[in-house]
Amino acid sequence: MRKQFRVFGLLAFVWMFTWANHCFADDGYKLWLSYAKISDRAFAAQYNQQLKQIYFAEGIGSNNVARIELMKGVAAMLQLTPQVTKPGDAGLLIGTQKTLPASVIKTLPAVTHDEGYVIKTITTNNHKQVVIAGKTQTGVLYGVFNFLRLLQTQQPISTLNINEYPRLERRVLNHWDNLNRTVERGYAGASIWNWHKLPGYIEQQYIDYARANASIGINGTVLNNVNANALMLSPEYLVKVKALADAFRPYGIRVYLSVKFSSPIEVGKLKTADPLNSEVRQWWKDKVDEIYKYVPDFGGFLVKANSEGQPGPQAYGRNHADGANMMAEALAPHNGIVMWRAFVYDSNPLNDRAKQAYDEFKPLDGKFADNVIVQVKNGAIDFQPREPFHPLFGAMKKTPLMMEFQITQEYTGFSTHLFYEGPLFKEVLGADTYAEGKGTTVAKVIEKKPHSKAVTGIAGVSNIGTDRNWCGHPFAQSNWYAFGRMAWNPEQSSAQIADDWLRMTFTNNKSFVQPMVQQMLQSRENTVNYMTPLGLHHIMGINTHYGPGPWVNKAERPDWTSVHYHKADSLGIGFDRSSTGSKATSQYAPQVQQMFDNPATCPDSNLLWFHHVSWTYKMRSGKTLWFELVHHYYEGVDSVRRLQTVWNGMQGKVDQEQFNSVKQLIAIQLQEAIRWRDACVLYFQTFSKQPIPAGYEKPAHPLSYYRDQQFHFAPGIGGNI
């Protein structure tokens, strides 16, 4: 009997231990706001001392989200419940410039930007106080999140002097979420918007979404796919939109909608959507007035028109400015804006799709209404692992331009590849357009207001879904995070952002953070190497965009095939966009044009984007183009192997569930990298007729094997639903 008890006791213990482990394991839901307990007691002591007593100025009551967040973070990290006290006693004071005591405010620099804040350590009557002061409540919230970040990343508190403001006004996520909850190019489950249960049911995930966005300064969200469903503008859906807007408002987040250009026909039952037709104009005005009754601070519209089959003004012989200005007129009385996309290629397939946006938009420079901003993808084709910056950034001097990045990894490994996008964002934002002389970087272009009423902004196509860890891959969260941080300030380095994210998400342990920052920084180049090195692009599987498909030679349109882009033949490989080819280089400022136009000055990384180059061309390295290409493909795979080794060494340094998750994903990434490499090298070899050099492992299968592979139901297909 006793023995049985002992066995039972042991089993119960094992069960409890497993259960406890399970309960406390990190499944990634908390994102970078995990607020792990600080185990370094000496470090925690300085914060503990300072945070024993907090003063919240008027307006920051117990329901205030900044206050709730601060108390939650402090309780979790320091195991402390601060006392709420008077200003003179407090170690931490929080409020706006108007609500904090004048004696405190006079010690601080003035905050001039509506969303700006300061965090400063001051000395009052011989004791140190830390002040977080915003101009508005949103500024206070951002200040609190920054303060929590200092604690999470273990920064000293004794001499703080932070003065922050966002460089861009509209920092917006674009959800390509459909009303049936599929997500176009989404790889993290279903859409988080549970339209069926709205407006009655506000899921906790909506609040956590808003918190996460506010923590990195994102202040807007476009709820639905740019391939828009006109139903979105019906009262049935507007009441649901209102419910989300109400949930997000305390976090400084405004709601926007993608709209379908033909909505006046589909929803309004008009015969036309012609932007110069008075009934159509009136329909938009009435519709906009109706939206503002539901959502008084509604942000405005995002529009994809005359692109990939979407309706647009060109169907009526009008141009993009006619279309955008019609909507802008309706939104202007409410201070709403139009974000009109420049991702257009609809009418006749041109010899080079990369040129079409410039050709259609450049003549319209200066013709858009004050509250229109043109949203331009980072490159002229479509979010490839690497593209040269979009020529429109150097060309529209009288029109505000908004950057569009793709956070979701449509072309960069879905949610199985560790691809940190910080370096990609940085490369584009730092590119010199020479639009107004040397140093006119893309970041400066988008930060500048071409006229006094202009709006500035940046958009990121979301990678968020219902997956428990939000983004499918634990490291994909870093891309959402990096987007927000860079939207706030494009000057920040991708290394610093990666460092912060790793510490906040996993651990402050240096032996984890330092090597993983390096791996994250390297990860973008890894993927470029095993997918599309040296400027290759658009050679993925057709429609799904999954896996390699350099052989794709049939599609509805020639510019949906791969052969159209790589143009490999017996002589060489690459798309000649130079002055001897499609002349796309002429869309850049002369300095940039000259650099790209000449293979000798064109960077290797963009060579095949701009030139058709002979297989025997001598590269800067001294290798022929063929060997250089092969080398990059192999290097891509080798670098994933190195990543795997580094990650495997991290067991025990991070949560076991997170560790296992990343470990399995890297194994998948490695298989897929090898497939990309072998498929592409074998395929291009049929043109180069040259060997894979000695010393490189041979592909495991013949080319036909890779060509014949099929992948059913790859995620991310969507559109207009």
Task: List residues binding ligand GCV (CB under 6 A).
Answer: 176, 184-185, 226-227, 304, 308, 343, 382, 410
The residue (of 226 and 692) whose beta carbon lies closer to ligand GCV is 226
Task: List Cβ<8 Å contacts ≥24 apart for 61-64.
Answer: 64/137
Listed residue (645, 361, 336) closest to 516, CA to CA: 645
To ligand GCV, the closest distance from the beta carbon of 331 in angstroms equals 21
- Helix or strand run (H / E) with residue 123: strand 117-124
Phi, psi dihedrals of residue 372, rounded to the nearest 5°: -105, 140
Indicate the DSSP class of residue 693. P
CB of 287 within 8 A of CB of 335? no
Nearest approach in angstroms of CB 717 to ligand GCV is: 8
Tokens 């979105």 -> residue = 232
Other beta carbons within 10 Å of 59: 12
Q: Identify which of residues 105 and 339 has a Cβ nearer to ligand GCV in the complex.
A: 339
Phi first, then psi: give them for residue 486, nearest 5 degrees.
-75, -30
Length of the chain, in residues: 721
**Shortest CB 378 distance to ligand GCV, Å:** 12
Q: Which of 164, 184, 410, 467 is an active site residue?
A: 410
Question: Helix axis angle, 510-531 relative to 625-648, nearest 10°?
Answer: 150
Q: Would you list the DSSP string of 404-472? A: EEE-S-TTTTTTTS----HHHHHHHHT-B--BTBTT-BHHHHHHS-SSTT---EEEEE----SSTTSSS
- The residue among 115 and 184 lying less far from ligand GCV, judged by its C-beta, is 184
Task: Answer yes or no: 447 catalytic.
Answer: no
Is 359 one of the catalytic residues? no
Find the DSSP H helices in 121-272.
137-152, 204-215, 235-248, 263-266
Of the pair 36, 714, the CB lying nearest ligand GCV is at: 714
443 φ, ψ to 5°?
Answer: -60, -45
In whole angstroms, the minimum distance from the beta carbon of 345 to ligand GCV comes to 9
Minimum CB–partner distance for residue 404 and ligand GCV (Å): 8
Catalytic residue among 308, 346, 447, 635: 308
Q: Give the shortest CB-677-to-ligand GCV separation in angstroms.
A: 23
Instruction: Give one word for 302, left, alpha or beta, with left for phi > 0 and alpha for psi -120 to 50.
Output: beta
CB of 719 to ligand GCV, least distance (A): 7
Task: Identify the H or E element spanning 162.
Answer: strand 161-164
CB closer to ligand GCV out of 152 and 356: 356
308 counts as catalytic: yes
Tell me whether residue 518 or residue 544 sits nearer to ligand GCV (CB atom): 544
Minimum CB distance to ligand GCV smaller for 176 or for 633: 176
Which residues are marked as active site?
308, 382, 410
